[in-house]
Amino acid sequence: MFEIIPSILTNSPQEALSDLEKLNDVILPHGFPLDRVQIDIVDGQFAENKTIEPDALANIETKLKLDFHLMTSEPIDWVERCVRAGGERNIGQIELMANQFSFVGKVQEVGLAVGLALNIDTEIERLDDSLLSSLDVVLLMSYPAGMGGQEFDIRVLDKVKRLVGMRGENIKPFKICVDGGVTPDNIKSVKMAGADEVVIGKRLISGDIEENFEKFYKALY
């Protein structure tokens, strides 16, 4: 089933915990899933802003699985911290990653699901295709990573379609996730291009979360 994943991008531990608490209580209609949330980690080097660090969530109790999207210099250096924070899936941006193989291996070594992420201007060819069968997800940014609230860039749709073709050649198919600028007006085109997941931040979490989810899922059909 196509999945909508809420994301939290903040430099306030209190806001992050409050948003997680609100999401923990959400019940979606019609059997739509809400079993994970993405925590965006920006270190001030990958992008100008800086968010909370994984340690801020180390003692949180939640029924939701935690994805950590590492928009950092050398994401491998953050893996152990994500484990201690209760992460279930680690997704690292490749742009400041010295070695994709080492990152994927480290995440698998500590027992987490693993993904690689590409910024909107990063070509698909930058992915190490020898790793595709080892990945749980490939995340494609649909605007420059690190800052929320930007406009959706339609170039991501062609990248999704290319990944669909690459995925067809693998024994273990990875999921394709699109992150950034997704609205009720464009979510169906993302799904039709072949994505399995989208990540949405304030458009989901601000206001009535259940009503916001309903708008997005209605737009799919």
Q: What is the pLDDT of residues 48-67, one digit of tens each?
A: 899 999 999 988 889 999 99
pLDDT at site 15? 95
Answer whether 29's CB lies under 8 Å from 209's CB: no
Per the annotation, the verdict on 43 as an active-site residue is no
Determine the Cα–Cα distance for residues 198 and 177; give it in Å rounded to an integer: 5
CATH of the domain at 198: 3.20.20.70
**Which one from 19, 40, 136, 196 is the annotated catalytic residue?**
40
Residue 152's pLDDT is: 95
Is 55 a residue of the active site?
Answer: no
CA distances from 202 to 96, 155, 206, 208 (A): 26, 22, 5, 11
Look up the domain containing 31 and give its range.
3-219
Q: Which helix (H) or strand (E) segment is 153 a member of?
A: none
Q: Which of 43, 67, 136, 179 is catalytic?
A: 179
Confidence (pTM): 0.96
If one compares 193 and 147, the residue with the highest pLDDT of the two is 193
Query: What pLDDT score was predicted for residue 221?
Result: 85
Q: Is 162 exposed, middle or buried (0-12, 13-18, 19+ CB in 10 A)?
A: middle
Q: Which of 39, 43, 98, 94 has the alpha carbon at shortest distance from 69?
A: 39
pLDDT in tens, 9-53: 999 999 999 999 999 989 887 778 899 999 999 999 998 899 999
How far from chain centre, in Å, is Cα 134? 17
CB atoms within 10 A of CB 169: 10
CB 205 within 8 A of CB 8: yes
Report the alpha-carbon distance of residue 167 to residue 157 in Å, rounded.
15
Dihedrals phi, psi of 157, to nearest 5 degrees: -65, -40
Residue 116, pLDDT above cutoff 70: yes
For residues 70 and 167, which has the higher predicted lDDT (pLDDT)?
70
pLDDT score of 30 = 77
For 2, the token pair is 């196509």
**Residue range 168-179: average pLDDT?**
85
- Main-chain phi, psi angles of 106, to 5 degrees: -65, -45
Mean pLDDT of 120-133: 94
Confidence of residue 170 (pLDDT cuts 50, 70, 90): low
Q: Tens digits of per-residue pLDDT, 94-106?
A: 999 999 999 999 9
Q: What is the mean pLDDT of the chain?
A: 94
**How many whole angstroms separate alpha carbon 51 and alpha carbon 58?**
15
Count up the domains in the chain and report the number. Answer: 1
